[in-house]
Structure 1
Amino acid sequence: MVRFKNRWLLVEFLPIPSTPQSGAVAQTIQLNLDGRQIHSVLKQSILSNYGDIGWGAVALSLSVKYFSPTTNICIIRVGREQHKIVWGALTLLDGLEYMRLIPHVVHVSGTIKHVQLAAIAHNRTVIARYRAMANAPVAYQDSYDAYLESSNRDIESLED
Structure 2
Amino acid sequence: MVRFKNRWLLVEFIPVDSNAKFKPLNKPAVALDGKIIWNALRQSVLSNFGDVGWGAVAPSLTIKYFSPQTSVGIIRVSREHHKVAWAALTMLTSIDGVRYLPNLVHLSGTIKHAQLSAIEHNRVVIARYRALAKTPAGYQDSYEAFLEKTTLEIEALQD
Tell me the TM-score range normalised by the shorter chain. over 0.9
1:75-90 equivalence runs, <5 A: 75-90=74-89
CA distance in 2, matches of 1:150, 1:19: 35
**Structure 1 unaligned runs (5+)?**
none
**TM-score, normalising length from structure 2?**
0.94
- 1:10-159 map, 5 Å: 10-18=10-18, 26=24, 28-29=26-27, 32-159=31-158
Residue matched to 1:7: 7
Does the 8 Å CA contact 2:34/2:65 hold for their aligned counterparts?
yes
Is the CA contact 1:11–1:106 (under 8 Å) kept in the aligned structure 2?
A: yes
**Contact map agreement 2:17 2:25 (CA 8 A) in 1:** no
Q: Displacement, 1:19?
A: 5.4
TM-score, length-scaled by structure 1? 0.93
| Contact kept in structure 1, 2:66 and 2:72, CA below 8 Å | yes
- Residues paired across the two proteins, number: 157
Which residue type is aligned with residue 14 of structure 2? L
- Give the 3-state SS of the residue equivalent to 2:13 in structure 1: strand
Identity of aligned pairs, percent? 59
